[in-house]
Structure 1
């Protein structure tokens, strides 16, 4: 329900992606759809993902099954690795930007995020043992 309310409010605001480069808008379109978490590695330790955890990219938002809404605020598919930034991952810091890198390979999406305080974009897609780094592997769900 919260996701519907948030998306309804945000739908009336100007879409910032209209000012993004064409490559960024195209890449965001490539991410659209439902994704299942396959693997989660936090600070070098593999965590058991919740059973059948699904998230959906819808427009510029990533929505969890529980209704949490995270906004994609920037995406740059021209870098190596590709960069993506999110806002809204931390309820207690709603304006905090979470820096990440990613790789989209067919129906597999690998996200490497920095979940700590401040900014510290991961350098690559290999899991890091330092606290605050989280690697998530997702598979596209075909509906």
Structure 2
């Protein structure tokens, strides 16, 4: 039985489609806007069904655990699971603790995330997309 209603399912499906199909000049802006919904809905309305997979388990999605710079107070990156990662990223976005990082060819290669519990992550846009795809696929299959 699903824990979320049709609105949430459609919202996630459409947001995933935006991630996969948008090819305009503002790709990273679109991704950051999409993060708001794709982290908030799962965290607030269905956190109990977000898998507690280890970061090593989700590496198959194309998300590298070494993106976690600091796991927060009294934790190592290996101790964070997917559910906690979603919560930490949600907190960073909700409290505007997100900033872009550039490379030599693009003004925004990815984003730095942090929260007041000393969590820090530096996630390239491609890995952020992979994380969201894997998370949404997991939730939509429940």
Q: TM-score scaled by structure 2? A: 0.30
**Structure holding more helix per residue:** 2
**Structure holding more strand per residue:** 1
Could you say which structure has the greater relative contact order, defined with CA pairs below 8 angstroms and 6 or more residues apart? 2
Q: TM-score scaled by structure 1? A: 0.30
